[in-house]
Structure 1
Amino acid sequence: MSFKNRLKYLMKKKSVSRKELIYRTGVKSSVIDSFLQSEILLPRADQAILIAEALDCPVEYLILGRISRQELINDFLKILFELSRDRVVELYEMGKMFLRLDSVSPKGKEGEMLLIFLPNRSIGNLFYLLHKYLNQNDR
């Protein structure tokens, strides 16, 4: 995804209009318009910081499309707390299944295919968070 598309996505997600972004950042309207139209234009560092602050997002995500591990965990936990206990238990059981498939499947087999988008460590981390959440709520 390009900077332009991330910028548009964040503006929509945060319900920030073009005019509001200009007001919050103090960046000229012509510059903001250029960012919203160009597939290759990137902001200067000072502009990127202002835009990221205005959209309440990390500069690294805005410019590079990367999200830190901690932010992923925080987002996961926000979603987790909105789910019913039954759904969390279901996710926990799915996590156990994924870990089992990964540990018994040779490379290139079905279990590996299920995990192609998430490294084993990531699934282990999510599984740990689910386990911890369930144990805290049992008390």
Structure 2
Amino acid sequence: MAGLREQMRQIDAEIDLAKAELTAPGSAELDLALIRSLAAARRQTELRLEQRGRDRAGIAARIRDMERSRRAMELDLRDSQQRCWKALFDELKSAVDTGALQALLVAGLEAGFAEAAVRAAILPNPTDRDRVADQLRERFALPK
């Protein structure tokens, strides 16, 4: 993509140069042959300017397509990562004694605790989420 952006900068410079050539003042003392020669050169410059404009538009379209593809790949990657984590969650959840957790939750609620207080009593220290996630990634070969 950087190469395409550099090509666009070069094309912009050529377009600026061509525009400068087209706006250069003419002399009233020119003979007919020189005027025809300059008119032909001007037409060639105009044609070159049109072509470079088309080239630039093509490069801009390619850059937009590449950026769109990159965003789509990022979304696919994020979806894949979430599916991996969901599968791990389901697997770990199936290994937990839900009956004991349910009994613990109900006992805490009956004791007057809010659900958040029960959760805080079960996991009293704030979890270092990044550290635990890194450990799980390493242990289960999950994507980062």
Based on CA coordinates, which of the two structures has the bigger radius of gyration? Answer: 2
Q: Same fold (TM over 0.5)?
A: no
Q: Give the shorter-chain TM-score range.
A: under 0.3
TM-score (norm 1): 0.26
TM-score (norm 2): 0.25
